[in-house]
Amino acid sequence: MDSTREALRRLVVGTLMPGFVGTTVAPWVTREYAAGLAAVCLYGANVAGPEQLSSLCAELRSVAPDLLVSVDEEGGDVTRLHYPTGSNQPGNAVLGRLDDTALTRESAAAIGRELTAYGINLDLAPVVDVNSAPDNPVIGVRSFGEDAALVSRHGVAAVEGLQAQGVAACAKHFPGHGDTVTDSHLALPRVDAPAEVLEVRELEPFRAAVAAGVACVMTSHVVVTAIDPERPSTFSPTMLGDVLRGRLGFDGVIVSDALDMAGASAETGIPEAAVRALQAGCDLLCTGSETTEDDYLAIVDAVVAAVESGRLDRTRLADAAARVERLRRTFAPGAVVAAAASKEVLWSEDTVAQAFSVSDAARAWQAVDAPPVIVQVASEPNLAVGRVAWGPEAAGLTTDADDVRAGAKVAVAGRSLEPGHPAWVVADRLRAEGHSVIVVECGWPRGEGDVVTYGGSVVAARALGRLLGVRAR
């Protein structure tokens, strides 16, 4: 490779943040770091436990000392550090319901301390989407709430908590994924709200995060018709240049949401999506959780070819790489510890339970003189959450439906309890067997549920157990 093309390739890989397969460092990551790779992203499939994660991060730092290492550690339902066991933080919806910004700041700071202990220096959080669509299939309890002012103040607290620990925060998913009923992992959502609503609802939390000095903003693969009716935000120069850079004054790193999502690349493929994202103004490209070496090289080749053909301006590419390099230097990692499982934040179960919604029927159930049990019903997660441990089962609080003894009162727990969810069938069966039964929604309320916990974290589950009088076995 001649020096000119080598320099171009170095710029290209300086804008990429691939995932990789496995629980040890993929050999190609080491090679590409030497060639200028900017970042990698760790996912749940890369994590088997705290000791293994420490080893993985130590290995990464030994071969790539100033690499940006990122995760989606939102706390609550979306966790990567605690993927096998469930999050040790309550999650955004619970924090928003409590509405104490000091608690939100401390939750984020605790996450930041844990990340820095592992040598992870970019957290793809907080979510600052306003969850204005109750049946939103992908945001829900990842949001602080449905009010823009509340989301703004808690988003700022989360940014401050993370960045005070030396971890770059990333407000997402610009300009807002909360008013959608389509999951962008699976299809291309649209937001059809008028411009005046977008201004005071979707944009306000991002405006606040920018004013608070957030290091990064992540795009959404969502078409916002009042601003750009043709292109998803990730590929919209209007959205990223005119709105985010211009009107909001953001000067940090624009990170694409994962380009392997259907909303980004179902029609074009990931390499073409990478070119389009850079053209639009993205600086750091999240390529997806299972990026192979062949996938990665195809992306590199496509972006190099786009510059050589004149489709992608080299100055735009150089600007993106320079922004990422500044981010790497600003949030340079410290030392990696041998084991970084943090137990420093002991959430009061009574405090967390204050966020719950508890119906009169649930209060009456509490008064029934019978031994309480919890039955958890399997609930399909969205792709952002993944197969993380969740709910009362993760906290050791459950009994199998077939093992419920005569005379017991039963709380049937599930999440996303829409009509047709199997939890309703289980509840009806147990009532028919003579049990006093309530139903617990461990997610965002869909209009039903005698108790709503606003999240499935282990922290929320333990608070639920205390509320219902069920102890871990």
Beta pairing partners, 410:
373, 437
Selecting among 185, 221, 421, 435, the annotated active-site residue is: 185
Three-state DSSP class for residue 300: helix
The yes-or-no answer on residue 257 being catalytic is yes
Radius of gyration of the chain (CA): 23
Preceding amide of 50 cis, omega within 30: no
| Backbone φ and ψ of 146, nearest 5° | -105, 5
The yes-or-no answer on residue 185 being catalytic is yes
| Backbone φ and ψ of 284, nearest 5° | -130, 120
Nearest to 112 by CA among 76, 158, 153, 143: 158
- Contact (Cβ atoms closer than 8 angstroms) between residue 293 and residue 254: no
Read off the tokens for 366. Answer: 């509490």
Nearest to 146 by CA among 122, 123, 176, 172: 176
Strands (DSSP E) contained in 197-296 are 216-219, 223-224, 253-255, 285-288
Selecting among 72, 257, 260, 283, the annotated active-site residue is: 257
**What is the DSSP-derived secondary structure letter of residue 406?**
T
Give the integer Cα–Cα distance in Å for 406 and 189: 48
Read off the tokens for 6. Answer: 């080598």
The residues annotated with a catalytic role in the active site are: 185, 257
